Amino acid sequence: MKSPINTGIIGYGASGKYFHAPFIYAHPGYNLCTVVERSGNEAVKTYPGIKTLRTSDELFNDPEIELVVITTPNDTHFELAYAALQAGKHVIVEKPFTSTTFEASELIRIGRLKNKLVTVYHSRRFESDYLTIKEIIRSGKVGEVVEFESFFDRFRPKPNPKIWKETPKPGIGLLYDLGSHLVDQALDLFGLPVSVTADIRAFRESSQVDDYFMIRLDYTSHITVLKASSFVLKEGPRYQLYGKKGSFIKYGVDEQEELLKQGHTPDETDWGVEKEINWGRLYTAENDQVREEIIPSEHGSYMNFYENIFQVIRNQAELIIKPEQIYLVIRILELALESSAQKRSIPFNMPQNF
């Protein structure tokens, strides 16, 4: 086997602790060497033998480090990723990739110039529920799609205790937090829309960042609705897919995040296998009778993201989450902000800086 990829993580909040470190540590193709923590020594408690650094510059100056994973607050992503690429490192950025398309295009440009991988951790491409939706569409079981709805709802009526998540800066708020994932999934499924219509709001008292959004992506043949709210106590369907032959309804969310927060690790048996209670229902019409079929969920695993990164760096494989796709997610989010501010639909257009 080829030598493992020496990897350093910047930031050890929830993202670094739950979504990145466990997979880097468990994958034999990586060597988790270093974690940058401004204060404290939390990572070394779980991963004895790693180094703890206080500044990102120390990590960038380490010639042994090949890959840098950035899990810091959203408004720091561009600066840190730019510096890491300039230092000759491969880079993974936690979502959102950047706050603007200008920043996204700059990181992509530097990555190409330095011949280094740069991508974003769109983990929800590797979840069982989304992979099931993708397979249902591919199989043609619902026929030609006319409407797709993707809801990610929570009940969090109080401000987030993390101050940076409540500070009004570019890239902060529910739109960039969850919208990055939902838009990425929609573009992966259907490509670029004809127009974008959005309603983005802050419903919590004294909130300075958005806590609700609804985005409608219009296509020639169908519409896609993406929605997230902080005020849904009883969740509805996660996905609703309507086609000319039938419908597919899916409740529940992928279990990997909750398992990680409970202390489980991705090397456990049956990792990413969804419980039957959350399997989706396919409804089709047969002789004027509605037929219901329970569809087993596809096997999801965030580890597949890191496996792909390893194969790209060591074996020149094709990158799953490509720079062009990353850029387009940020472009859609920008158009959603424009649509909500102007209260009108905005035709999709590609800016000249791409």
Cβ neighbourhood burial of 33 (10 Å; 0-12, 13-18, 19+): buried
Q: Which residue bears the tokens 């990164």?
A: 309
Q: How confident is the model at residue 263 (pLDDT cuts 50, 70, 90)?
A: very high
pLDDT at 84 over 60: yes
pLDDT tens profile 37-73: 998 899 999 999 999 999 999 999 999 999 999 999 9
**Average pLDDT of span 346-354:** 77
**Average pLDDT of span 208-215:** 93
Q: Is the peptide bond before 96 cis (omega within 30 degrees of 0)?
A: yes
**Average pLDDT of span 70-81:** 96
**pLDDT for the residue 161:** 66
pLDDT at 354 over 80: no
71-80, 161-170, 305-314 — which is least confidently predicted? 161-170
**Average pLDDT of span 145-169:** 81
**pLDDT for the residue 35:** 98
Rounded-to-5 percentages of helix, strand, coil across the chain: 35, 25, 40
For the record, the structure tokens of 315 come out as 């074996």
Q: How confident is the model at residue 179 (pLDDT cuts 50, 70, 90)?
A: very high
pLDDT tens profile 92-133: 999 999 999 999 999 999 999 999 999 999 999 999 999 999
